[in-house]
Copies of this chain bind each other. A is one copy, B any other.
Amino acid sequence: MDKLLHLWEATGFYQMQPGQGIMILIGMLLLYLAIKKNFEPLLLVPIGFGGVLANIPGAGLAEAGGILHLFYVVGIESGAFPLIIFMGVGAMTDFGPLLANPKTLFLGAAAQFGIFATLMGAVLLSTFGIFDFSLADAAAIGIIGGADGPTSIYVASKLAPDLLGAIAVASYSYMALVPLIQPPIMRALTNEKDRKIRMHQQRHVSQREKIVFPLVILILVALFLPDAAPLLGMFCFGNLMKECAVVDRLSNTTQNSLINTVTIFLGLAVGSKLSAESFLNQMTLGILLLGMLAFSIGTASGVIMAKILNKITKEPINPLIGSAGVSAVPMAARVSNKLGLEADKHNFLLMHAMGPNVAGVIGSAVAAGILINYAAG
C-alpha cells in the first residue's frame, strides 16, 4: 500500500507544479511554431522538445544526473557545441560575394550597433530599477541582435548561463521572424528611388582568394582580438576546409553528419535551460522585448550605413542590402532581394546582399569577443 502510494506520488499528476505545466505548454508552442510555421525548425524542434522534457515533474532530466543536464555540461558549458556548429557554418559559407565587394563589410559592422544599443537599453532599464540585469546579463541579451544562434548561445553560456534558455529562444524566434520584422523598417528608411538602385555585376572571385581569406581573418583576430579567436577561429577553420579542396572528406562530414548531430544535442541541451524557475520571470519578458529592439536597431543601422556608403563611394549600393548586415543567413539576404524585386522586378539583389550577410556573421563574432573580454574580465 505504501508502495502504491509511492507510485501515485511519483506521477506527474501529483508532482506537477503550475510553472512546469506552463513551460510544457511553451515547449509545445515552440514545437508548433517550428513544425507548422517553419520557425527555424532545425533548432526549435530540439529546443522545444528539450523544454518539455526538462519540465516533466519528478523526472529530473535537466538536473544533475539527468541526460539533458549531461548534454548541457558536456556540450554547452564546455563551449564545444556552439563552436563545432560554428565550424560547420563556416564550412557552409561562401565568402565569394563578400570578396567581390569588401566594402559590404561596413554594413556588417554597422548592423552590430543593434547589439550595443540593446546592451545600453538593458543597462538603462536596470539603472531605472525596472529590471535587474548585470553588465554581463546586458551583454548576453545584446548579442541577440547579432542574429546568429551559435554566437548567442556561446556568449550566454559564458556571461549569463541562467538566461541562456530565454536568449536562445529569443534569438532563433526572431531569426525566424526576420521576414516580418525587417521589411517595415527597410521601407521606412528608404524611398522608391533608393530601392530601385541597380548594383554592378560582381567580379569573379578566384579560388585562391577564397582559400587565403579565412587565413587573413585568422591573422587579424590573432593580432587584434584574441577573445574572438574561439568563434572566428573555428569558423575560419570550417571555411578553409571547404575552400582548400584537399580535405573534401572532412568538409563534407562537417557540413552533414557532424553539424546535424551536434545540432540535435545542442537543441536538447538548450531546452534543459527552459526550466520554470529560470524562464518564467520578468527577465524573460525583458529579454524578448530587448531582443526585438536589437533586431530592429541592427536592421536600421545597416540600412542607414548603406545609404551613407552610397553617398561616399562611386559604385552604387542599394540601401536594401544594408539590412542583411544583421546576418540571419540567408533569410535577411532574401528579404533584401524580395524588397528589391518589389520596387523593380528586374532588380536581383540576392548575391549582393550575401556580402553584408556573411559580414554580419564576422561582425557579431567580433562583438562577441569584445563583450566576453569586457564583461567577463
- Using an 8 Å CB-CB cutoff, how does the interface string of A204-245 with B read, 1 for contact, 0 for none? 000000010001001101111111011001100100110010
| Nearest B-chain residue to A223, judged by Cβ | B12
Tell me whether A373 is interfacial, beta carbon within 8 Å: yes
A163 to B247, CA, bound (A): 26
Interface size class on chain A is: 35 or more
Contact status B211-A35, CB under 8 Å:
yes
Contact status A42-B253, CB under 8 Å:
no
Tell me whether A341 is interfacial, beta carbon within 8 Å: no
Checking B34, B42, B249 against A42 with a beta-carbon cut-off of 8 angstroms, the contacting residue is: B249
A146 to B332, CA, bound (A): 51
Contact status B240-A45, CB under 8 Å:
yes
Smallest distance from the beta carbon of A295 to chain B beta carbons, Å? Answer: 23
Contact status B67-A80, CB under 8 Å:
yes
Tell me whether A254 is interfacial, beta carbon within 8 Å: yes
Q: In the complex, which residues 250-274 of chain A have their Cβ closer than 8 Å to any Cβ of chain B?
A: 250, 252-254, 256-258, 260-261, 263-264, 268
| Chain B residues closer than 8 Å to A244, beta-carbon distance | 34-35, 41, 45
A260 to B35, CA, bound (A): 27
Q: Which 7 interchain pairs have the tightest Cβ spacing? A: A253-B260, A59-B229, A41-B246, A59-B226, A58-B226, A257-B257, A12-B223
A81 to B247, CA, bound (A): 19
Tell me whether A11 is interfacial, beta carbon within 8 Å: yes
Checking B56, B223, B268 against A221 with a beta-carbon cut-off of 8 angstroms, the contacting residue is: B56
Contact status A10-B233, CB under 8 Å:
no
| Chain B residues closer than 8 Å to A221, beta-carbon distance | 12, 56
Binds B, one of A46-54, A124-132, A344-352: A46-54
| Chain B residues closer than 8 Å to A215, beta-carbon distance | 28, 31
| Chain B residues closer than 8 Å to A229, beta-carbon distance | 53, 56, 59, 61
| Chain B residues closer than 8 Å to A155, beta-carbon distance | none
Tell me whether A120 is interfacial, beta carbon within 8 Å: no
A residues touching B (Cβ–Cβ < 8 Å)?
3, 6-7, 10-13, 15-16, 24, 28, 31, 34-35, 38, 41-42, 45-46, 49, 52-53, 55-59, 61, 66-67, 70, 78-80, 83, 211, 215, 218-219, 221-227, 229-230, 233-234, 237, 240-241, 244, 246-247, 249-250, 252-254, 256-258, 260-261, 263-264, 268, 370, 373-374, 377
Contact status B246-A257, CB under 8 Å:
no
A222 to B13, CA, bound (A): 8
Query: Can you offer 20 A-B residue contacts whose CB atoms are under 8 A?
Result: A7-B370, A10-B373, A12-B223, A12-B224, A24-B222, A41-B244, A42-B247, A42-B250, A45-B246, A49-B240, A52-B218, A53-B218, A66-B230, A67-B78, A67-B79, A70-B79, A70-B80, A250-B264, A253-B260, A258-B260
| Chain B residues closer than 8 Å to A227, beta-carbon distance | 10, 58-59
